[in-house]
Chain A
Amino acid sequence: MIPLLAAESGGGFELPPIDHLFVFPAWFDDGLFGEGSILAFNRTSFLYLLAALITIGLVVAAFGNPKVVPGKLQAGMEAGVDFVKNSIIGAIIGPEGYRYLPLLFSLFIFIFVNNLFEVLPFINFPPTSRMALPAVLSLMIYFLFIFVGIKAQGPKYFWNAVSVPGVPKAMLLLIVPIEFVSTFLLRPFTLAVRLFANMMAGHILLTVVFLASNYSLVDFHSLYEGGVPEIAAHGWIQFALGIPIFVGAIALVGFEILVGSLQAYIFTMLAAVYISGSLSPDH
């Protein structure tokens, strides 16, 4: 009732267009990194670089000068390495996968830092919610697992990847196209879309709940107090509606931290699964 009245008298709660949440203008007007160039440098590019620097900085600070009795940072990072080594590589690939530990660990930390940018004050934007970064990371994994497969099994890898041993010859006519599409076309696509869509959905969700609570608790009252009297008299209803929204918004920040770390884990784990599928021919 109250929001309806507010909407009729101009104003009202409006969400910004979706582009305003994800597309940022370039920092420079012209030149190589300017507006319109393929290398245009904007907030997203800056956050990519920042995440890479943080990843490098964390690893160098923790392991550049290792101590026998680890400090807080070194102990924390060692727990991370142990997690990737035992719960991801050890459980999925086995001991022969330890050579991929540096790649998978830095991948995990890099995606984790990118996802945490969503809830970091004054940044509040996950760069993984633009398709560029997930696409490049998943293409990297795509070429890696094909390369690993060719190296481990030779040219027979392509046949092993699309066929299933022990089925009748006639069934292969059906199985080979399906397996080909799912392994070589859908794998990189879903790997990228999974990370991208999760972070994009989280960013939209947080934007909606925080804008709604800001509108109900602050903007509504500054807009209508002293304006239309019948709306101002009912301002407390809008305020009471805003309190559960704000509490829910704070809970959703915690939920987004969970989603961000889970997505970093799942991306790393799927990369390990794809590598392990290329290392041995059986399905």
Chain B
Amino acid sequence: MDLMILAQEAVVTESTTNLANGLVYGLAAIGPGIGIGYLVGHAVEAMARQPEAASLVSTNMFLGIAFTEALALLGFVLAFII
């Protein structure tokens, strides 16, 4: 009897961990997803308005992407650590 309860608990713990892994990454991807979309959209708009500033804008765009993306990647790494 006790063994069965223990086995059930083990199953619940494992599936909860899997669910948590998925949730950690999925939730961590929402914010950076919105952020990168907003950032690149405005960068493209800026490049379309002023094509001569395209190289400057794209350098800063990659910089912004790198900073924003870090949050999603932290979620990705945490999903493996949990």
Contacts and interface: CB of A to CB of B under 8 A. Distances in A.
Interface of A: 18, 87, 91-92, 190, 193-194, 196-198, 200-201, 262, 265-266, 269-270, 273
Contact of B59 (A18, A91, A194, A198): A91
A90 to B, nearest CB: 10
5 contacts: A91-B55, A201-B76, A262-B62, A269-B59, A269-B62
Contacts of A200: 76-77
A234 B73 CA distance: 40
Interface string B63-82: 10111011001101100100
Contacts of B77: 193, 196-197, 200
Interface residues of B, number: 15
B62 A265 contact: yes
B56 A193 contact: no
B55 A266 contact: no
B55 A193 contact: no
Contact of A87 (B55, B67, B69): B55
Summarize B's interface: helix, strand, loop or mixed.
helix
Interface string B19-60: 000000000000000000000000000000000000110010
A87 B66 CA distance: 16
Contacts of B65: 266
Contacts of B74: 190, 193, 197
Contacts of B63: 269-270, 273
Interface of B: 55-56, 59, 62-63, 65-67, 69-70, 73-74, 76-77, 80
Given A198-B73, A266-B65, A266-B66, 13 more contacts: A91-B55, A190-B70, A190-B74, A193-B70, A193-B73, A193-B77, A194-B66, A194-B73, A197-B76, A201-B73, A266-B62, A269-B62, A269-B66
Nearest to A197: B73
A91 B59 CA distance: 8
B73 A87 contact: no
A188 to B, nearest CB: 12
A273 B64 CA distance: 12
Given A18-B80, A193-B70, A194-B70, A87 B59 contact: yes
Nearest to B59: A91
Contacts of B70: 190, 193-194
A271 to B, nearest CB: 11
Nearest to A198: B73
B55 A270 contact: no
A138 to B, nearest CB: 12
A160 B35 CA distance: 29
Contacts of B66: 194, 266, 269-270
Contacts of B55: 87, 91
Nearest to B56: A91
Closest 7 CB pairs of A and B: A197-B73, A190-B70, A266-B66, A91-B59, A197-B77, A197-B76, A194-B70
A183 to B, nearest CB: 13
